[in-house]
Each structure stands twice: as C-alpha cells, then as structure tokens.
Amino acid sequence: MNYDWSWRIFLELSSNGVDSYLHKLLIGVGWTLALSLSAGFIALIFGSVVAVLRTARPVWLQLIGTVYVEIFRNIPLLVQMFLWYFVLPELLPKDWGDALKQMGQPWGQFIPAVLCLSFYGTARLAETLRAGIQSLPGGQRQAGTAMGLTPVQVYRYVIMPQAYRVVIPPLTSEFMGIVKYSSVALTIGLLELTGQARAMQEFSFHIFEAFSAATVGYLLINGCVVLVMHYVERHFALPGRIGWNTRIKLSGAAS
Amino acid sequence: MNFDFSVVIQAMPYLFGTGMTFTLTLTFAAAGMGLILGTLLAMMRLSRYRMLSIPAGIYVNTMRSIPLLLVIFWFYFLMPYIGAWITGASRPMNVGAYKSAIITFTLFEAAYFCEIMRAGIQSVSRGQMSAGLAIGLTNRQAMQSIILPQAFGNMLPSLVTRVIILFQDTSLVYVLSLTDFLGAGVKIGQRDGRLVELYLFVALVYLVICFSASRIVKLLEKRAFVAR
C-alpha cells in the first residue's frame, strides 16, 4: 500500500484548465472569509439586540428573545441551511421565490448561506452576551436608572460596554465556531475552503494533499481570530479587572 | 403554494424506523466511546509528563479548530489506509461509510469531551486527591474512585449539552449519503416531490427533541446547584 504524495499538485491546473489548484483553494479561503466575516458581523449586531431583549424588564420582550434563541439553537445547522436554500423560495410570494431561485452561482448560494449563518450565529451570540450581561452586578443598572438614564441609555452607556468586555473570551470561540460552521455552506453548493478541497480531491485524486491544505487554511484563519481577539481584549481591558495588568505592562514598555 | 402533509404521515415508519434509529445509534455510540476516550485525553492533558500532555493538547486543539465536515471527509478517505496499515494489507481496506462515521464522531467528540472532563477534574478540590492518597489508595485508584466520579457529576449538565450538539451534528453524515433522520427525510421528499414538507417536518422533530433535552439539562443544573 502506498500513497503517491506530491506537493507539486498544488501548482497543476485544476478542472477548469485555467487556474492552479492552489489558486482555487485561495478562492475558497476568500469565500470562507467573506461568509464568516459577514455572518459574524450581522450576528454580533442582532445577537446584542436579542441579548438585550432577553434581559429586558418587560416579560413579553424576554419571551420574544427566548423563543428566537430556542428555535435557532435547537435545529441542526444543516437542516437550517436547507430551509433557507430550498424551503424559503417556496414560502415567499411567487415572484420573490423565482428571483431567489434564478440567482446564479455563487450569489444564489452565498446569500442563503449568510442568512442561515447569521440567524444561527445571532442565537448563539445572544446566549453568550446574555451570560455577560447577567454576570454584571445588579447595582449597575440601578445606578444608571438613578442617574436619570432611560432603559435604552442604561444599556447603551452602562451595561453593554461592560458586558462586551466580560464576554471576549467566549466570544472568541463563538467567532471560531462561525468560521467552522461556514463549511456547511458546501452542502448547498458554495465552494468555500472545504468545498474547494473536496472538488480538488475529486478531480486530482490527491485526497490528502487537498485536505491537508484545507486543514492548514482553517488553522491559520482561526489563529488570526485568536490573535485579533487577544488584541481586542487587551486594548479594551477594564481598569480594576484582572486583564488590566497586562495592558499596563504593555503600555509601560512603550512609554 | 399547496402543501400535502399526508406524505409525511405515510413516511413515518421509514423516517423513524430507519432514519431516527440510525441517528440515535450514531449519537449514543459516539457519545459513549467519545466520553471514555475524552476522559483518557483529559488525564493525559493534566499529566505531569510532557510526553503525554503535549500530544494530547495538540490533538484536542487541532480537532477543535477545524470544521466537523472536513474531519468527516478526512477520516472517510483516511480510514481505508489506516485499516490497511493496521492489518498489514497491501491495498486500502474497505471500511464503509457507516463505520467510518462512527469512528469519526467518536474521535471528534473525544476532543470536546476532553475539555469538559478536564474542567471537571480541575473543579474537584486538591484535598480530595490528598485525602485519597493519605488513606493508602494509589494514584490510579484515587483518580478512579474519588476524582472522576465527582468530576463526572459536576460536569453532567455540560456533558448532556454536548450530547445534544452531537445529536444535531450527526445530520452532517448527509455528505456521506448515509440515511440518518435528515437523509431519510430527503430521500422520501425527493421520491414524492415533497421536499418542502419533509424539510419542515424534520426541522420540527429536531426542534422538539433538542428543546425537551435542553429543559432536562436545566433541571440537572438546578439539582446540581441544590446538591452543593
């Protein structure tokens, strides 16, 4: 039994006869990045909204938040992907549905994938942020209210700035999660990194080179996520918290 | 728009008899074996010997930073070669998608269970180990009969939550064309031209099962809180 391992395969022409396999894989990296960045950004915004709903005073707001989170967390991502891609066009008015179906490669796949990952990510980030909000002492909210801030202002100026800082470590793993989940988009035909590696494996029969390249790609992307979030964490560390010391050390060395 | 949900009712025996049975078998097989392997990995990571802790750390961190889909593809194609290597055969062995899926999910979940069990072992106070050693237990006995049971108890809610995620993730065996619950739904839907109804039904069933299971986790958490 021997496997014919060759690094040169990456430079050979891929199935379309124009680009090399390496080029194709890099395009895959581009789609993975585009997908995770847009989904991560949308999920962060709406996740904050849902987290606020879940911790707000009025019970009906809490209920809306809870129902949203439970629905999107308890259906497998792959099923949600199929719902967005196959079922949504059927449920919309006919013109809209047809317009969605007729969208060509790759936008016809990219938009449902972004929608799917954003809605799913929103539910997950909302849970993370809610834990952050609830970890703050109740006196913060009361103090804000006592100063005459409206409930919206309390969240905007008192609670959220602290909550974001508290949840940076779990937020890091959620963002890494979004990068990983973006691979599910290959099931609806979007050729992101895993999809490109799979296509390369099918055409070249160099199975393990293709998957090794994809593995390295994900390790690098997630390594960058960790580095960026590390920087964010140090930059925004709160005075008086444990993370503050490292920042003093850093800025002390600079000044 | 016209929907016909009677298709779903006719397909029930197949959906649950074949599909859900497979999904549950895969979930519990991978959870059981993954938990054992994960506990071993956790002990390796916490070991004083770098020979043990470093490889375990690399394994767990790599597994946790790449997508499950990629891992599924990796093992699906790698397994025949590993099989041939173990048995000494000259040609790649025929492993099959079913076995390959069980092995993949076991190895993948082991990495996540490892981190949960590691946190669990670290949550047990150091005095417990010292007390065990003081009454004459060996390191291994103290681990087995004092530390691990407590670690397991402390982490039960997290472990069950992980099994719920595993239950959802098993739907990804779709890419190996295995007939799990989702796969069964898709097959029926394609046969009868009723994909929309089947997708909605499959989503609803997953929602009901996972939601009920997550309520059970809430109860477990409350009980663990009272016990302390």
Whether residue A128 is contained in a domain is answered as yes
List, in sequence order, the alpha helices (H) in B143-180: 148-169
Question: At A7, which amino acid appears?
Answer: W
Distance from CA of A71 to the nearest CA of B (A): 7
Q: Which residue did the predictor score with more confidence, A238 or A73?
A: A73
**Tell me, what CATH number does A158's domain have?**
1.10.3720.10
Integer Rg of chain B from CA: 21
For position A245, what pLDDT does the model report?
59
Site of tokens 């809209």: A96
For position A243, what pLDDT does the model report?
59
Whether residue A136 is contained in a domain is answered as yes
For position A83, what pLDDT does the model report?
94
Binned at pLDDT 50, 70 and 90, residue A134 comes out as very high
Q: Count the neighbouring beta carbons within 10 Å of the beta carbon of residue B85.
A: 12
Kindly list the residues from chain B whose CB atom is less than 8 angstroms away from the CB atom of residue A91: 1, 196
Which residues touch A87 (CB under 8 Å, ≥6 apart)? B195, B196, B199, B200
Binned at pLDDT 50, 70 and 90, residue B225 comes out as low
Q: Which of A75, A115, A66 is nearest to A92 (CA)?
A: A115
pLDDT digits (tens, 9 = 90+) for A141-197: 999 999 999 999 999 999 999 999 889 989 999 999 999 999 999 999 899 999 999
**Domain extent at residue A95:** 17-254
Task: Read off the pLDDT of each residue in A228-245 and give the average, rounded to a whole number.
Answer: 78
A237, A161 contact by CB (below 8 A): no
pLDDT at A30 over 90: yes
**Strand runs labelled E in chain A:** none
In DSSP terms, which residues pair with A20 in a beta bridge? A13
Distance from CA of B181 to the nearest CA of A (A): 11
Report CB contact under 8 Å: B65, A76. Answer: no
Which residues touch A207 (CB under 8 Å, ≥6 apart)? A201, B77
Closest CA in chain B for residue A195: B70
pLDDT digits (tens, 9 = 90+) for B60-118: 999 999 999 999 999 998 888 888 888 888 888 888 889 999 999 999 999 999 999 99
Q: Select the residue of A86, A186, A197 nearest B199 (Cβ to Cβ).
A: A86
Task: Read off the pLDDT of each residue in B202-206 and give the average, rounded to a whole number.
Answer: 95
pLDDT at B17 over 70: yes
pLDDT digits (tens, 9 = 90+) for A110-119: 999 999 999 9
Q: Break chain A down into helix, strand, coil percent, rounded to 5.
A: 80, 0, 20
Tally of structural domains, chain A: 1
B116, B159 contact by CB (below 8 A): yes
Q: Which residue did the predictor score with more confidence, B142 or A249?
A: B142
Q: Which of B183, A201, A9, B109 is nearest to A193 (CA)?
A: A201
B84, B92 contact by CB (below 8 A): yes
Domain ranges across chain B:
6-227
Report d(CA B203, CA B205) in Å as an integer: 6
Distance from CA of A253 to the nearest CA of B (A): 32
Whether residue A207 is contained in a domain is answered as yes
Site of tokens 């998608």: B97
ipTM comes to 0.90
Task: Read off the pLDDT of each residue in B26-44 and give the average, rounded to a whole number.
Answer: 95
Report d(CA A59, CA B56) in Å as an integer: 46
List A residues 133-192 in contact with B (Cβ-Cβ < 8 A). 176, 179-184, 186-187
> Does the domain formed by B6-227 have CATH 1.10.3720.10?
yes
For position A96, what pLDDT does the model report?
84
Burial class (CB in 10 A: 0-12, 13-18, 19+), B113: buried
For position B23, what pLDDT does the model report?
95
For position A246, what pLDDT does the model report?
56
What tokens appear for B125 in the block? 């106070």
Whether residue A10 is contained in a domain is answered as no
Report CB contact under 8 Å: B67, A197. Answer: no
- Of the ranges A238-247, B41-50, B184-193, which one carries the lowest mean pLDDT score? A238-247
Upstream peptide bond of B13 is cis (omega within 30 degrees of 0): no
Kindly list the residues from chain A whose CB atom is less than 8 angstroms away from the CB atom of residue B74: 211, 215
Task: Read off the pLDDT of each residue in A8-28 and give the average, rounded to a whole number.
Answer: 82
Q: Count the neighbouring beta carbons within 10 Å of the beta carbon of residue B188.
A: 23
For position B50, what pLDDT does the model report?
92
B107, B29 contact by CB (below 8 A): no
Query: What pTM does this model have?
Result: 0.89
For position B187, what pLDDT does the model report?
92
Whether residue A11 is contained in a domain is answered as no
Binned at pLDDT 50, 70 and 90, residue B171 comes out as very high
